[in-house]
Amino acid sequence: MANTINSGIAALRTLESWHVDHIYGIPGGTVNNLMYALDAEKDRIKYIHVRHEEVGALAAVADTKLTGHIGVAFGSAGPGATHLYQGAYDAMADKVPALFIVGQNPQALMNQDFFQEFDENPWFKDAGVYARTVMTAESLPHILDEAIRRAFAQHGPAFVTIPNDLADKEIPADGYYSSAKNFARPELGAGSDEQINQALDLIKQAKKPILYVGQGTYGAADEVMQFAKKFQIPVITTALGKEIIPYDFEALLGSAARVASKPANEALQETDLMLFVGSNYPFAEVMFKPDVKFIQIDNNPQVLGKRHKTDVAILADAKKSLQRFIQLGEDSQPSAWYAANVDNVANWHQYNDDMMNRTDGDLRFEPAFKEINRISEDDAIYSIDVGDVTQNAVRLLKVNGKQPWITSGLFATMGVGLPGSIAAKLSYPNRQVFNLAGDGAAAMVMQDLSTQVAYHLPVINVVFSNDALGFIEDEQEDDNHEWFGISLPQTDFAKVAEGQGMTGITVDKVDQMKPAFDKAVELTKAGKPVLIDIKITNERPIPVEKLTLDADKYDQKTIDDFKKRYYAEKLVPLSDYLKKHNVQ
């Protein structure tokens, strides 16, 4: 008799060949045979029992973002499957490969409106780059292998629905194989010298150029900074690209729009040329001036010319192209435009430092970021939730270029911080991990604090509690509408944490901040997760998309009122620095 292998075990062996060492999910009748295979393979692949499938799905997406290996989550038929959908759309929007395994009733009971049954493939095709139902036990490993290749090749989530009976059959042991060792990503070279010289001519003609970089410049931080200094061009990053360039680089303007920094928004209003590298920035249509000269470098032909009328479009690798720019271009003379922006960055940093050092008045969020920066290790990982905490982290975390920073980007899924921290600690057990969340987002997924406890994941969880959906509250203010539907009931998140076996610490005074974070370091070094619930005032963070500082645009009373509300007495508009440096 030929050698055989259980089809469920063969499926898991296929995942293992793609470097999958853990998988998230919740048991159910339609995935029981997969569960039995996980039990048999528990020495090779770890089952992470989350409390909600959405948390598992978001954690799987975070796995891919952090490691480059495919993240995997599963759910049983019906509600278990639909709960995966939030993570699926998150992966779709951020163009992240992920694999979602969906349970289904045994084949004999399919298409009979059986318990928890629905036609899953059409539903998942909208989000997924691949969605198939396994038809034979023998094809199960192959379909999973195909799904992973498609996910990587097409940059999105893939779905495989498995009828439960097909995960518990004997199949030929030599009848399946993995293509993991054969998989390769296409690599582009630099742009042509002709294209680069065209772009260099435009740079020479520009008076106020900007280098705008996104996630396509991962691994190219040195080239970006060298380019900026050589050609005297300040740098804007997308919010998702925050981790790429060290915070203290003199000409780093931060990110633009609302989840953003003051220098970036001001420079965008002045620039006459943009070099747009490795980004598909969705707010370009409303943030970029339509009449600026535009140079774009990207390795995806689908986005060339998508966000702005483009003068030079270069289909190429960002890092190699920047290197070629540096080789071909001549050093620029010291630029007054560059110097004005460097001064503006320094002033913005001073404002944020002053806010982080505040000790009077009601407790705000900034002193907490001072402590996070103080205790952060050189390779710390930050999982950031969605809301005010996103824009505050963008502005205040002093990343060094070696600290991963993940969130839900284009889809902006609230509740993403906790799942991301679980993924980070599972993949990097020896690195410090933070989960930073507002109280609205924390309430959505707080049941999975117990997952951190159950699997001994020493994460520093920080909840900023202001009893409101602050990000939406500010939008309603801008719409001149009275606040409605944005209040949150007071929640003692420290007690919530303690109820799940985790140490909870409440902070409501600034002098409690340092001891709380010192205790968090002590606990996590001892292998225990911790939650710090910081009770902050519901004051609005400074709206850098609606700055009211420039005396050439606003009357003095309007400026004074803005400065008083946002403690911005020392904050200077870019226009003042342009005048100081005689920039026309």
Spatial contact of 296 and 310, defined as CB atoms under 8 Å apart: yes
AA letter at 14: T
Decide if 458 contacts 529 (C-beta within 8 A): yes
Assess contact for 120 and 102: CB atoms under 8 A.
Answer: yes
At 566, is the secondary structure helix, strand, or coil? coil
Residue type, 162: I
**Region of residue 544 (left: phi > 0; alpha: psi -120 to 50; beta: else):** alpha
Q: How far apart are CA 21 and CA 428, in angstroms?
A: 12
DSSP state of 419: H
Task: Tell me which H or E stretch contains 353.
Answer: helix 336-356
Among candidate residues 133, 257, 314, the one with its CA nearest the CA of residue 543: 257
Q: How far apart are CA 533 and CA 504, in angstroms?
A: 7
Helix (H) or strand (E) holding 100: strand 98-104
The length of the chain is 584
Half-sphere exposure at residue 513, Cβ-oriented, CA atoms within 13 angstroms: 25
For residues 376 and 389, give the distance between their C-alpha atoms in angstroms, rounded to a whole number: 17
Kindly give the pairing relationship between strand 312-315 and strand 293-298. parallel
Q: Please give the positions annotated as active site.
A: 53, 115-116, 258, 386, 471-472, 475
Cα(81)–Cα(67) distance, integer angstroms? 25
Owner of token pair 């509250």:
473
Burial of 239 (0-12, 13-18, 19+ CB in 10 A): buried
Between CA 420 and CA 407 the distance in angstroms is 8
CA dihedral 14, 20, 21, 23 (to 10 degrees): -100
Neighbours of 135 (CB within 10 A): 12
Q: Is residue 449 a contact partner of residue 528, using CB atoms and an 8 Å limit? A: no
Measured over the CA atoms of residue 39, residue 45, residue 51 and residue 55, the dihedral's sign is negative
Distance separating alpha carbons of residues 35 and 38, to the nearest angstrom = 5
Question: For residue 356, what are the CA distances in angstroms to 49, 398, 457?
Answer: 38, 12, 29
The one-letter code for the residue type at 4 is T
Strands (E), 105-191: 130-133, 157-163, 170-172
Residue 141 CA from chain centroid, whole number: 31
Please state the φ and ψ torsions of residue 313, each to the nearest 5 degrees: -110, 125
**Helix, strand, or coil (residue 406):** strand
Helix, strand or coil, per DSSP, at residue 253: strand
Cα gap 96→409, rounded to integer Å: 11
